[in-house]
Amino acid sequence: MIPALAARITVGIFAALGTLRFGTGIYFWRVTEALERPTYTVVEKLDNGVEIRQYEPYLIAETTVDGVGFKKPTSDGFRACAGYIFGKNKPQGASWFASKGAEPEPEKMAMTAPVRVSGGASSSSSESITMKKTKVSFVIGTKYSLKTVPTPLDNKVNIRQVPGHTLAVRTFSGPPPADARVEKERAKIETALAKAGRQVPGASEETLVYGYHDPFITPNFLRRNEVALVVEGSV
C-alpha cells in the first residue's frame, strides 16, 4: 500500500507542477502577444506559407557579436540589448542635467517584439550563408524618435532607424530554431520566390530570424518564430 500511495503522490506532484508550468507559459504568451511590434502590410501570399510584407520604418537597438550561427550569438547579443532596454542607458540631454548638478535617471523601456537576429548559419556548405558576424537587435517602441530615445551606456549597443523595406517571411512554431531549421526555412522561401517569378536573394545575402516569445516558458506550440529574406530595401 505504501509504495502505491507514494507513487500516486509522486504522480500528483508532477501533474500539478506540469499544470502550473503550462499555466505560467500561457500567461507569458498572452503578455508577449500584447507587446508592440513593427507595422507591416501583407501585399502577397506565396506557396509554402510565405508572405511578402512591406514594413514601415522603425527604430532598433542593435549589437554585433562574433560568431556564425544563430543560437550562441543570439544569447550573447540578447544580454547586451536587454541591458539597454532595462536601464543601462541615459536620457538624451544628460549633459544638461550634469551642468545643473543633477544625476539623470536611466529609463526602463517597454519590451517589444520580435527579437531580430541577422546573419548566417554555421554550415560551411557552398549553398549556405557563412558570415563571421551576427547582428542581434531589439525593436524600440514608437514612443521614441532618434531625438528622444535614450543613449546606450554600453558602447557595443547602437541605435538606428530601419528604413521601410519588403521581406519574404515564413512563420512557424516551436523552440528557437537551430541553424539547420533556419536553412530549411530559407530554402522554402527561396523556392516560393522562384515559383512566383520573383528574384531570389543570393547565397551571400543575410538571413533574418525573428523570435516573438521567450525561449523558456512559453509552450513550444505557441511560440512564434519567423525566417525572412530581404526582397527590397535594407534592414
* Rounded mean pLDDT, 19-47: 82
User: Chain-wide mean pLDDT for the chain?
Assistant: 85
Domain annotation covers residue 7: no
Question: In this predicted model, which residue has the larger pLDDT, 6 or 76?
Answer: 76
- Give the domain CATH number at 153: 3.20.80.10
Between β-strands 89-90 and 165-173, what pairing exists: parallel, antiparallel or unpaired?
Answer: unpaired
Which is nearest to 119 in space by CA: 161, 162, 166, 77?
77
* SS3 at position 20: helix
What is the C-alpha to C-alpha distance for residues 61 and 63, in angstroms, rounded to an integer?
A: 7
Domain annotation covers residue 102: yes
Domain annotation covers residue 103: yes
The answer, yes or no, to whether residue 91 has pLDDT greater than 60, is yes
Domain annotation covers residue 43: yes
Give me 215's grid cell: 525561449
Domain annotation covers residue 26: no
pLDDT of residue 234: 87
The range of the structural domain enclosing residue 225 comes to 35-232
Domain annotation covers residue 93: yes
Q: What pTM did the predictor assign?
A: 0.83
Number of domains in the chain: 1
| pLDDT confidence bin for 123, thresholds 50/70/90 | very low
pLDDT of residue 127: 42
Residue with cell 532598433: 60
What single-letter amino acid sits at 210?
A: Y
- pLDDT, tens digit (0-9, with 9 covering 90-100), for 182-221: 999 999 999 999 999 999 998 889 999 999 998 778 888 8
Q: Give the bridge partners for 40, in sequence order.
A: 55
Give me 136's grid cell: 542581434
